[in-house]
Amino acid sequence: MRHDGPEPPSAVERLGRDDRSQDLIRLLAAWALVHESADDAWKAAVARGEAGRPAGPAGPGGPGDPGDAGAFADGLAALVAAEKERLKARLREPAGGADAGARDEGAIGRQLEAVAFELAELRGRLESLEASIDALLARGAPADPGADPTG
């Protein structure tokens, strides 16, 4: 069935946009990068995907049909292949690239907040101890003959 609106994203496109799926794709890319047999499998799947992609919009049941299970695997392989190239490029960069920098900054920011909280907590404990010590000192101070012990 066709409709006139924009094409809904395929399962693979949705997979590529989701942050958590990105973790999976990164992992698969890393796997492909370090294991030759896996890498060959991705390359073969990408080649099949490219060879089977029709020029126009995908027809039902054809190799480019978004609902076809083989097409999904090939599309996933393409995503993994692209991620693998990005991973390679990042590995070639001396300091891990801009993404890694931003991730590090986020992590450092969170750690700094946690440290600042612990410091503030420590200040709170010290203030509480100071109050207790002041109270003990007040109790031990020589009595003011005109003063009420509770006020």
Partner 1 sequence: MPVRGRPVAAVALRRGARAAWATGLGLRRGRAARAKGARELRLACEELGPTFMKLGQLASVRPDLVPPEVVFELERLRERVPAVPLDEVRAIVAAELGAPPERVFASFDPEPVATASIAQVHRATLAAAYRPVVGEPLPAGAPLAVKVVRPGVAEAIAADVAWARRWLARLARWPSVRRWRASALLDEFEASLARELDLRREGRFADRFAFDFADDPRVLAPRVVWRHTTRRVLVTEYVEGWRLSELGDAERAGIDARGLAVHGAEVFLRQVLVHGRFHADLHPANLFVTPDGRVCYLDFGIVGRTEPAQREAIAQVLVALAYGDPGRALRASRALGLEVPDALVPAVRARVAELVATHLTGPAPTDLRGFAFGFLAMLSDLRIAIPEGYGLLVKALVTVEGVARALYPDIDILRTAGPYATRLVAAQLLRPERLRARAPAALRAALQELLA
Q: How far is the CB of 54 from partner 1 (least distance, A)?
A: 22
Residue 146 interacts with partner 1 (CB under 8 A): yes or no: no
x/- track of binding to partner 1 for residues 83-102 (CB under 8 A): --------------------
Binding test (CB under 8 A) with partner 1, winner from 14, 27, 91, 96: 27
For residues 25 and 83, is the Cβ–Cβ distance under 8 A? yes
Structure tokens at 36: 């030759």
Q: Per rule CB under 8 A, is residue 151 in the interface with partner 1?
A: yes
Helical ranges in the chain per DSSP H = 11-17, 19-34, 36-52, 69-92, 97-140
By CB under 8 A, residue 117 contacts partner 1: yes
Q: Is 8 left (phi over 0), alpha (psi -120 to 50) or beta?
A: beta
Q: Is the CB of 7 or the CB of 128 nearer to partner 1?
A: 128
Give the nearer residue to partner 1 in terms of CB position, either 38 or 66. Answer: 38
How far is residue 12's CA from residue 45's CA, in Å, rounded to a whole number? 14
Structure tokens at 71: 């097409």
Contact pick of 3, 132, 142, 143 for partner 1 (by CB under 8 A): 132
